């Protein structure tokens, strides 16, 4: 009798374990599965790790920023808890390759949607409409239009097209200064070695919102281009794209999007555009 009771108890324990395992395997969204970057217990998401306000890895190893919040929200809607996420640095020049190779399941990294990129990858979103702008010192009222950049020292990072766009189209006499990183441009701006820094307004707002720079800089609000930030994913993965789009729509509806914008860009006085509608690419 005791043996039969023990056997029955063991069988029940095995059945319970199988049930729990089955439930656990259904936790992750099937659309995010498959490949080394998704499925199973983890999902790998590409982000920037050196852009304050957008995507930054802090000294204690945490990841913070607006794009990071978007990535976490989308992953949760796909069935992944924060601990299931593996964030992978994805530099601008490597984004399409990382997606095509399967190094990441999707990328949330100030990734502007354009025709050249759409030939290689798909995009969910857009989830943010940014614009090329300039950052100046808070007490500088000499630059009131892009034309005022003529004969001014204009900084951007080496290899960026932002400063060249200004020189080619808006201020041909602007004196371009190329530095290794945006932080160097900010230091030059603070020390009056340069007069203005240019790139996407969201990136500028993220830098200006840092504790060390609060109140020292301001965005001009010139809106010199439209940058539709999207979530990059593998070409043809319509199922995952649709699910990410639904997650983004929910993020806007429940006001999590507004909270993330205010948390990461608000301290710089960033006047953001309203959340864009899915599929609405502003040219």
Q: Are 267 and 214 in contact (CB under 8 A)?
A: yes
- What pLDDT is attached to residue 211? 87
- What pLDDT is attached to residue 216? 93
User: Are 183 and 48 in a shared domain?
Assistant: no
User: Are 236 and 111 in a shared domain?
Assistant: yes
User: Are 173 and 144 in a shared domain?
Assistant: yes
- What pLDDT is attached to residue 12? 47
* Domain presence at residue 118: yes
* Domain presence at residue 157: yes
User: Are 148 and 201 in a shared domain?
Assistant: yes
Domain count, the chain: 2
For residue 144, what are the domain limits? 131-219
In the chain, which residues have pLDDT < 50?
1-26, 34-36
Query: The pTM is what?
Result: 0.82
CB neighbours (10 Å) of residue 79? 17
- What pLDDT is attached to residue 26? 41
- What pLDDT is attached to residue 24? 39
Pick the last residue of a domain from 185, 219, 253.
219
Q: Using CA atoms, how far apart are residues 118 and 235, in angstroms rounded to an integer?
A: 8
Q: Which two tokens stand for residue 258?
A: 């507004």
3-state SS track over 5-26: HHHHHHHHHHHHHHHHHHHHHC
* Domain presence at residue 189: yes
User: Are 126 and 252 in a shared domain?
Assistant: yes
User: Are 115 and 232 in a shared domain?
Assistant: yes
User: Are 168 and 83 in a shared domain?
Assistant: no
* Domain presence at residue 47: yes
- What pLDDT is attached to residue 4? 46
- What pLDDT is attached to residue 29? 59
46-89 residue pLDDT tens: 999 989 999 999 999 999 999 999 999 999 999 999 999 999 99
């Amino acid at each position: 009798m005791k043996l039969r009771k023990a056997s029955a108890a063991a069988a029940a324990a095995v059945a319970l374990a199988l049930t729990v395992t089955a439930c656990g395997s259904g936790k992750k969204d099937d659309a995010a599965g498959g490949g080394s970057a998704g499925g199973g217990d983890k999902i790998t998401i590409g982000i920037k790790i050196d852009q304050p306000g957008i995507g930054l890895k802090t000294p204690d190893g945490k990841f913070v920023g607006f794009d990071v919040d978007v990535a976490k929200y989308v992953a949760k809607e796909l069935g992944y808890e924060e601990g299931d996420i593996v964030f992978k640095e994805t530099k601008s020049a490597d984004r399409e390759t990382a997606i095509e190779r399967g190094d990441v399941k999707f990328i949330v990294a100030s990734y502007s949607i354009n025709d050249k990129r759409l030939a290689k990858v798909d995009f969910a979103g857009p989830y943010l409409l940014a614009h090329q702008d300039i950052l100046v010192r808070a007490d500088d009222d000499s630059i009131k239009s892009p034309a005022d950049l003529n004969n001014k020292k204009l900084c951007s990072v080496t290899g960026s097209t932002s400063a060249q766009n200004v020189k080619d189209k808006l201020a041909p006499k602007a004196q371009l200064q190329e530095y290794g990183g945006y932080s160097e441009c900010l230091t030059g701006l603070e020390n009056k070695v340069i007069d203005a820094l240019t790139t996407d307004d969201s990136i500028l707002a993220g830098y200006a919102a840092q504790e060390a720079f609060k109140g020292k800089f301001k965005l001009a609000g010139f809106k010199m281009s439209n940058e539709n930030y999207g979530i990059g994913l593998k070409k043809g993965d319509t199922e995952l794209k649709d699910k990410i789009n639904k997650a983004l729509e929910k993020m806007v509806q429940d006001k999590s999007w507004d909270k993330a914008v205010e948390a990461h860009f608000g301290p710089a006085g960033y006047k953001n555009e309203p959340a864009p509608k899915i599929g609405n690419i502003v040219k």
